[in-house]
Amino acid sequence: MTFDHRKYRRFEVPNKPDRRWPDNRIEQSPRWCAVDLRDGNQALVKPMSPAQKQRLFDLLVKLGCKEIEIGFPSASQPDFDFCRKLIDENRIPGDVTIQVLTQARPELIERSFEALKGARRAIVHVYNSTSVVQREQVFAMSREGIKHIAVTGAQLVKEQAARYPDTEWVFQYSPESFTGTEVDYAIEVIDAVSAVWQPQNGQQMIVNLPATVEMSSPNVFADQVEWVCEGIKHREHITISLHTHNDRGCAVAAGELGVMAGADRVEGTLMGNGERTGNMDLITMAMNLYSQGIDPQLNFENMAEIREVVESCTDITTHPRHPYVGELVFTAFSGSHQDAIKKCLNRRAAGEVWNVAYLPIDPKDIGRRYEDVVRINSQSGKGGVAHVLERDYNIDLPRWLQQEFSRLVQKQAEDQGGEIDSLTIRRLFDEHYLAVPVGWALKHYDLHRGDGGVSASVSLDNGADYRGASQGALEAIVQAVSETLGVGIEIEEYNEFAVEAGTQANALACIRATLGGHTLSAASLGEDTTSAMLQAFFSVAGRYVQAAVPAERPALAV
Name which of 32-41, 279-288, 370-379 the model is least confident about: 370-379
Whether residue 118 is predicted with pLDDT greater than 70 in this model: the reply is yes
Sorting pLDDT into bands at 50, 70 and 90, what band is 59? very high
Measured from the Cβ of residue 333, the count of other Cβ atoms closer than 10 Å reads: 18
With a pLDDT cut of 70, the percent of the chain lying above it is: 95
Lowest mean pLDDT across 60-69, 167-176, 517-526: 517-526
Q: Which residue has the higher pLDDT, 482 or 378?
A: 482
Q: Domain coordinates of the chain in residue numbers?
A: 28-314, 335-434, 442-546
Burial letters for 74-105: b for 16+ Cβ neighbours within 10 Å, e otherwise? bbbebbbebbbebbeeeebeeebbbbbbbbbb
User: With 80 as the cut, is the pLDDT of residue 460 above it?
Assistant: yes
The pLDDT of residue 290 is above 90: yes
What's the pLDDT at 555? 37
At 549 the pLDDT is 46
Residue 511 pLDDT: 95
**pLDDT higher than threshold 90 for residue 281:** yes
> Element (H or E) spanning 66, and its range?
none
Residue 314 has pLDDT above 80, yes or no: yes
Q: Any idea which of 38-42, 131-135, 197-201, 484-488 has the lowest mean pLDDT?
A: 484-488
Residue 383 has pLDDT above 80, yes or no: no
Q: What are phi and psi of 504, to 5 degrees?
A: -75, -20
Q: What rounded mean pLDDT belongs to the chain?
A: 91
For the segment 417-440, the average pLDDT, to the nearest whole number, is 89
Integer Cα distance of 266 and 282 in angstroms: 8
Using one digit for the tens of pLDDT, what is the confidence trace for 395-412?
A: 888 989 988 998 888 888
Topology (CATH) of 28-314: TIM Barrel (3.20.20)
Looking at the predicted structure, is the pLDDT value of residue 309 above 50? yes
Confidence of residue 390 (pLDDT cuts 50, 70, 90): confident
Q: How confident is the model at residue 504 (pLDDT cuts 50, 70, 90)?
A: low
Which residues make beta-bridge pairs with 359? 356
Exposure b/e, 23-53, CB count within 10 A at least 16 = b = eeeeeebbebbbbbbbbbbbbbeeebeeebb
How large is the average pLDDT for residues 403-427? 86
H/E element holding 209? strand 205-211
Residue 377 has what pLDDT?
65
Q: What is the pLDDT at residue 331?
A: 81
Number of C-beta neighbours around residue 448 at 10 A: 11
The per-residue pLDDT for 501 is 55
The per-residue pLDDT for 558 is: 29
Which pLDDT belongs to residue 462?
85
Whether residue 520 is predicted with pLDDT greater than 60 in this model: the reply is: yes
- Answer yes or no: is pLDDT of 557 > 50: no
Other C-beta atoms lying within 10 Å of the C-beta of residue 195: 13
Mean pLDDT, rounded, for 140-166: 97
**pLDDT (mean) for 458-469:** 88
- pLDDT of 554 higher than 50: no
Across 255-281, average pLDDT:
97
Give pLDDT tens digits for 213-244. Answer: 999 999 999 999 999 999 999 999 999 999 99
C-alpha Rg value of the chain to the nearest Å:
35
CATH architecture of the region 442-546: 2-Layer Sandwich (3.30)
pLDDT at 468 over 90: no
Nearest to 165 by CA among 121, 202, 198: 121
What is the reported pLDDT for 371?
64
Task: Give the pLDDT of residue 500.
Answer: 66
Q: Is the dihedral of CA 283, 289, 293, 297 positive or negative?
A: negative
Share of the chain above pLDDT 90, in %: 70
